Each structure stands twice: as C-alpha cells, then as structure tokens.
Amino acid sequence: MASAETIRVEVAYACPGEQLILEIEMPAGATAADAVIASGILDRFAEIDLPNARLGLFSRPVAHDEPLRDGDRVEIYRPLQADPKQVRRQRAAATRRK
C-alpha cells in the first residue's frame, strides 16, 4: 500500500509478441504521462511515441495530463494497423461475391 504522499500504479503495453505490466510508485498528483516516463517502458519499446501515443486507464481513453489515483493502470495503446470499418466493408464485399 502506498503512503499518503505516494501512489502505486501499473503501466501496461502490449505488442504482438509481448505484454508487459510494470508496477511503480509515484508521487501523489502524478499524471498518466508521468507514469509512462517513470516506468522506463520507453527505453524497452522504442516504437512508443509518447507525445502522440493514446493512453487509457482501465480501457477508458484519457489525456496525458490525467491525474492518477492509487491502484490505476495506465495503458499505452498502439496505433491501429487497419481501419476496422474498412476491414468489415472488405469482408462483406468478399462474402457477396461468393
């Protein structure tokens, strides 16, 4: 359990071959971006472009300056490889052709 001046949070990132969840202790008042930086995850995954990365707390998108609470999990989202709507359209068109 964290003290009144600190909070414990997790930082999570997943790529096709690996998932990583790091637990860190932060000062109270830290933000989502602060946690990503403090976790050291940027050193391990060079593809993370923090200024442009989408972040979330337990699957809810948040701004980089979102204040954290004890027990939060900051998730770093990768960019989509394909537009889901376009993929569904292509699948539907292929089905109609059969």
The pair of structure tokens assigned to 75 is 């998730």
Helix (H) or strand (E) holding 34: helix 32-39
pLDDT at 81 exceeding the cut of 80: no
Domain ranges of the chain: 6-97
What's the rounded mean pLDDT across residues 69-82?
88
- Name the band, by pLDDT with cuts 50, 70 and 90, for residue 2: low
- Name the residue among 15, 11, 12, 17 with its Cα closest to residue 81: 15
Q: pTM for this one?
A: 0.78
pLDDT reading at 1 higher than 60: no
- Any idea which architecture 6-97 has in CATH? Roll (3.10)
- pLDDT band at 76, cuts 50/70/90? very high
